[in-house]
Structure 1
Amino acid sequence: MPNPSFAPPKLKKGTLRVIPLGGLGEVGRNMTVYEINGKLLIVDCGVLFPEEHQPGVDLILPDMAMLKSRLDDIVGVVLTHGHEDHIGGVPYLLKRRGDIPIYGSKLTLALITAKLKEHRIKPVTVEVTEGDREVAGPFDLEFVAVNHSIPDALAVAIRTEAGMVIGTGDFKMDQLPLDGRLTDLRAFARLGEEGVDLFMTDSTNAEVPGFTPLEADIGPVIENVISKSKKKVVVASFSSHVHRVQMVLDAAVKNGRRVVLLGRSMVRNMGIAADLGYLTVPDGVLVDLKKSGDIPDHKLVYMSTGSQGEPMAVLSRMANQEHQIAIGEDDTIILASSLIPGNENKVYRVIDGLIKLGANVVHKGNAKVHVSGHAAAGELLYCYNIVQPKNVMPIHGEHRMLVANGKLAAQTGVPENRVIIGENGTVVDLKDGVARAVGQIDIGFVYVDGKSVGEVTEEDLKDRRTLAEEGFISVICVIEKQTGKIVSGPDIQTKGVAESEAVFDQVKPKILSALEDAIGNGTRDQRGLQQVMRRTIGRWVAQRLRRKAMIVPVIVEV
């Protein structure tokens, strides 16, 4: 159960306050606010993708309500890397104040700038690289190279009057990274020697023992699968996974195939990566979708989005036979990604649909076609021993992951009372080398639904789930205003409740009788009579049909 809300005390001068607004208790919408001496620094501002019980929702944002009256106090936003769960919420923040400086690496800034262009926002950016130091108000920032499933990821050390905090961002410790860019453990050790007062670490793989396998091990597997494929190959991955796309390009060249990039985000992101030198595209390997029809299937590889079963993404549309690329016998589909928690059912439905069409589907469960971008337990232990932090606050993960990460910290000697297992909205104050949870603020879900932001409520989603699962009933009666006489009705119309509306003939006399009794007892207002209709048909539907349909009663007065 979430902790009950309790207001934090007034922040004293010289104390650093840390408030996660997203990313704790969930995998996504990562965002943390740091405050000292009246100024705010934000690290990451991502989105969470909706689950099946959130129908119609496009994205879920961090709850930025606490920032509404303090936009002018924000001295900067640090983006640790270019994944959507760390940068996707930035446009919605900058719509409130467009000149907030954005700190990030070259690739990260290129990706967010392209995204902001779609929102007609031109950001103020500060490009940084590992080893750089920048001052943002009372915050002294140092950037540290970390390895992840996207190039140019950074951890950030935040020095303040109250002490030093390190936020790792998402990271792992691949010892043979494809781009040769290691997680800089020497920098972690140096910062540890200086004294790290609060270590905020990626928890996504804290439950996984040992070490995350090497990314370099995946390339030969993908190449082998492609070499044995008889017809077309479709590889689905995240649209920002530059290293995975590089593997596919190289494997295609070795097997005499051309590559088609599918999905707007895939085309955009890989174009940016190639322009900046993060992706090496062999001459002649890429071909436009419009021209791919002239190339035989056994000479093609499609690199697509949709590895998480997103309903509108390329792979789902292929599985539903709604895409121009038709999947058939002897085609090969490679899902080169892991499952984000909550997406399992959607992904398995896509896999089933593709197999029904005759495709051979290769995924992490039956072949080594993906490795995680997050540090496993063994890597986290190394980091704790190197940094030797005074306090630890696990971030980026569901609650069980945070707990597992906290236990790892305790095993390395961090006192248990210095390990803070928080949730979104937990207020932590750091002073004199001690970090304490001092408050809990209410943090909600902010839904992006079409063009609306924050207008869809939990009650709206409950109504949508009811409509989807239980159906809809409308009941209309016409009543003479002066006499209260029922002129016509009840007229009942339904959707998704029963095979035939004739079944509702049984309840019409009950509704009439209930209305007449209510009118006879003096009830004449529309709302009161509508409630009578709702209760009467609701009880009957629950008993007779075992359903809890949405009921919309209407009284028309004439």
Structure 2
Amino acid sequence: MEIEIATVGGYEEVGRQMTAVRAGDDVVVFDMGLNLSQVLIHDDVRTEQMHSLDLIDMGAIPDDRVMSELEGDVKAIVPTHGHLDHIGAISKLAHRYNAPIVATPFTLALVEQEVDDESKFTVDNDLVEMEAGETMSIGSSGQVELEFVNVTHSVIDAINPVLHTPEGAVVYGLDKRMDHTPVIGDPIDMERFREIGREGNGVLAYIEDCTNAGKKGRTPSESVAREHLKDVMQSIEDYDGGIVATTFSSHIARVKSLVEFAKDIGRQPVLLGRSMEKYSGTAERLNFVEFPDDLGMYGHRKSVDRTFKRIMKEGKENFLPIVTGHQGEPRAMLTRMGRGETPYELDEGDKVIFSARVIPEPTNEGQRYQSERLLRMQGARIYDEIHVSGHLREEGHFEMLQALQPEHVIPAHQDLKGFSPYVDLCESQGYELGRDLHVTRNGNLIQLVE
């Protein structure tokens, strides 16, 4: 059976992920993502109102014209998890393909919300729910099967999809870390990965996220970040002024920890910001997390400002606002607070907890720097980097190669500079550039089996 891979997006940057695998006449698309930094550099861009061609020209979503060169029909669109760099282009591109969108429950719910918010295109692809550990047949030949393997990441309900073909398995390895003690959900299923490496014809190809490949050691568990956060919050328990926390809205495990520790130090947590309300509300509705009955979630601007007024009236020392804006996004809550555009007044000595890291990209770094300067100018004390990454470091990558023993390796989720540490690791394990190690660019085709 012919096996061909189209590296559509995410092979020159971190963002706008999209990869297609053709097995005979059947094609499966993995991810359709947004490159958020290409949007943020423009003022007041509303992607839901824009045409896909304009977003492609901006470099914000994948240029999927290479798909026309694949001699097969798309049978499934498979987003791996709910981050926008993996699902943010579905509302712009999925309608071009007569194929269902297949994802885990939380991811699918987020996709549905993206589709509902879309005002330019009508996306009526079927939405098919599939849990980690389940499989489904692809195409009519009965020879190709899609499997979801549970992984741990900085968003819940993440999987690595595996396409089983007569020539071996194609494992799409974006995004994960090896967490054996997660705060929410099951540990990464390394046992299944090792089985896949030994079954049948083994692993034909492994497509891997190279985000942290240049960092030695292993990525710590989310439980480590939870203990770090607990230590910080207990250290400021006796402060009688304002404490504000910010983290990734999609990081439900971290939000859960913030809510619990706020209660522990005698403060009422409240979630503020549109995306904070969306992700946490969805997770609670689907029973992935249980929040206190009195936890407020407010996304609408007027509701947020009313809540800030209530906090100022009843005393900042009684509350922990958990807000959007950890990257310094211009319209996010924390940025507005730093600019003095909310009823919440920061005073000298007030604490701001960044339970997140800056995404290492110039737009984010610049915006985050500006946000921190504004906060410091108002006297805020910054608690930074209370976080663990959602991506594998060097030893995690080594473990995955040992588990899967892939015949071919394709680095992804980075630019050429970001690929180089992973290339070095692969070469140390006997892979050779141009033979079985394929460094590629957006819009290319890789023929693995002719």
- Both structures adopt the same fold (TM-score exceeding 0.5): yes
Q: What does 1:83-94 align with in structure 2 at a 5 Å threshold?
A: 83-94=83-94
**Is the Cα contact below 8 Å between 1:257 and 1:285 reproduced in 2?**
no
How many angstroms apart in 2 are the aligned matches of 1:180 and 1:53? 32
How many angstroms apart in 2 are the aligned matches of 1:183 and 1:412? 23
Q: What does 1:86-485 align with in structure 2 at a 5 Å threshold?
A: 86-96=86-96, 100-119=99-118, 121=123, 123-137=125-139, 139-194=144-199, 195-227=202-234, 228=236, 229-286=239-296, 289=304, 290-291=306-307, 292-293=310-311, 294-342=313-361, 343-364=364-385, 369-416=386-433, 417-431=435-449
Name the CA shift for 1:72/1:331 in 2 (closer, same or farther; >3 Å): farther
Quote how far apart the aligned CAs of 1:157 are.
Answer: 1.0
Amino acid at match of 1:216: S
How many angstroms apart in 2 are the aligned matches of 1:310 and 1:402? 27
What is the SS of the residue equivalent to 1:281? coil
How many angstroms apart in 1 are the aligned matches of 2:38 and 2:354? 20
How many angstroms apart in 2 are the aligned matches of 1:115 and 1:52? 16
**Is the Cα contact below 8 Å between 1:46 and 1:61 reproduced in 2?**
yes
**Is the Cα contact below 8 Å between 2:256 and 2:289 reproduced in 1?**
yes
Quote how far apart the aligned CAs of 1:213 are.
Answer: 1.6
Deviation digits for residues 221-251 of structure 1, max 9, x if unmatched?
3233334143222222221110110010110
2:4 to 17, 37, 46: 17
Name the CA shift for 1:52/1:113 in 2 (closer, same or farther; >3 Å): closer
Name the CA shift for 1:16/1:71 in 2 (closer, same or farther; >3 Å): closer
Amino acid at match of 1:378: E
**Is the Cα contact below 8 Å between 1:202 and 1:394 reproduced in 2?**
yes
How many angstroms apart in 2 are the aligned matches of 1:252 and 1:145? 30
**Is the Cα contact below 8 Å between 1:40 and 1:75 reproduced in 2?**
yes
Quote how far apart the aligned CAs of 1:212 are.
Answer: 0.7
**Is the Cα contact below 8 Å between 1:334 and 1:363 reproduced in 2?**
yes
What is the SS of the residue equivalent to 1:355? helix
How many angstroms apart in 2 are the aligned matches of 1:37 and 1:102? 20
What is the SS of the residue equivalent to 2:37? coil
Amino acid at match of 1:131: G
Name the CA shift for 1:109/1:418 in 2 (closer, same or farther; >3 Å): same
How many angstroms apart in 2 are the aligned matches of 1:338 and 1:122? 36
Q: What does 1:68-79 align with in structure 2 at a 5 Å threshold?
A: 73-79=73-79
**Is the Cα contact below 8 Å between 1:141 and 1:158 reproduced in 2?**
yes
How many angstroms apart in 2 are the aligned matches of 1:96 and 1:71? 16
Percent of paired sites with the same residue: 30
**Is the Cα contact below 8 Å between 2:272 and 2:297 reproduced in 1?**
no
Give runs of ≥4 in structure 1 deviating > 6 Å: 68-72
What is the SS of the residue equivalent to 2:352? strand
Quote how far apart the aligned CAs of 1:25 are.
Answer: 2.1
Amino acid at match of 2:270: V
**Is the Cα contact below 8 Å between 1:22 and 1:62 reproduced in 2?**
yes
What is the SS of the residue equivalent to 1:420? coil
Quote how far apart the aligned CAs of 1:331 are.
Answer: 1.8
Name the CA shift for 1:163/1:220 in 2 (closer, same or farther; >3 Å): closer
Quote how far apart the aligned CAs of 1:426 are.
Answer: 2.4
**Is the Cα contact below 8 Å between 2:64 and 2:443 reproduced in 1?**
no
- Name which structure has the greater RCO, CA cutoff 8 Å, separation 6+: 2
How many angstroms apart in 2 are the aligned matches of 1:104 and 1:328? 45
Query: How many pairs does the alignment contain?
Result: 414
How many angstroms apart in 1 are the aligned matches of 2:415 and 2:240? 41
What is the SS of the residue equivalent to 1:345? helix
Quote how far apart the aligned CAs of 1:301 are.
Answer: 1.0
Quote how far apart the aligned CAs of 1:54 are.
Answer: 4.3
Of the structure 1 ranges 30-39 and 168-177, higher mean CA displacement relative to structure 2 is found in 30-39
**Is the Cα contact below 8 Å between 1:49 and 1:58 reproduced in 2?**
no
Return 5+ residue gaps in structure 2 as ranges.
48-59, 299-303
What is the SS of the residue equivalent to 1:418? coil
**Is the Cα contact below 8 Å between 1:385 and 1:412 reproduced in 2?**
no
Name the CA shift for 1:332/1:38 in 2 (closer, same or farther; >3 Å): same
- Is 1:33 the counterpart of 2:20? The answer is yes
Quote how far apart the aligned CAs of 1:282 are.
Answer: 2.1
Deviation digits for residues 13-48 of structure 1, max 9, x if unmatched?
x32211121111211111101224344221001101
Quote how far apart the aligned CAs of 1:162 are.
Answer: 4.1
Who is 2:63 aligned against?
63
**Is the Cα contact below 8 Å between 2:27 and 2:72 reproduced in 1?**
no
Name the CA shift for 1:244/1:38 in 2 (closer, same or farther; >3 Å): same
Of the structure 1 ranges 143-152 and 216-225, higher mean CA displacement relative to structure 2 is found in 216-225
Name the CA shift for 1:215/1:53 in 2 (closer, same or farther; >3 Å): closer
How many angstroms apart in 1 are the aligned matches of 2:81 and 2:160? 9
Amino acid at match of 2:37: P
How many angstroms apart in 1 are the aligned matches of 2:372 and 2:288? 31
**Is the Cα contact below 8 Å between 2:213 and 2:421 reproduced in 1?**
yes
What is the SS of the residue equivalent to 1:249? helix
**Is the Cα contact below 8 Å between 1:258 and 1:286 reproduced in 2?**
no
Deviation digits for residues 419-467 of structure 1, max 9, x if unmatched?
11112122111117xxxxxxxxxxxxxxxxxxxxxxxxxxxxxxxxxxx
What is the SS of the residue equivalent to 1:166? strand
Amino acid at match of 1:132: E
Return 5+ residue gaps in structure 1 as ranges.
1-13, 433-558
Of the structure 1 ranges 395-404 and 20-29, higher mean CA displacement relative to structure 2 is found in 395-404
Name the CA shift for 1:147/1:287 in 2 (closer, same or farther; >3 Å): closer
How many angstroms apart in 1 are the aligned matches of 2:293 and 2:71? 48
**Is the Cα contact below 8 Å between 1:167 and 1:201 reproduced in 2?**
yes
Quote how far apart the aligned CAs of 1:297 are.
Answer: 0.3
Quote how far apart the aligned CAs of 1:258 are.
Answer: 1.1
Amino acid at match of 2:346: I
Of the structure 1 ranges 240-249 and 58-67, higher mean CA displacement relative to structure 2 is found in 58-67
Larger radius of gyration: 1
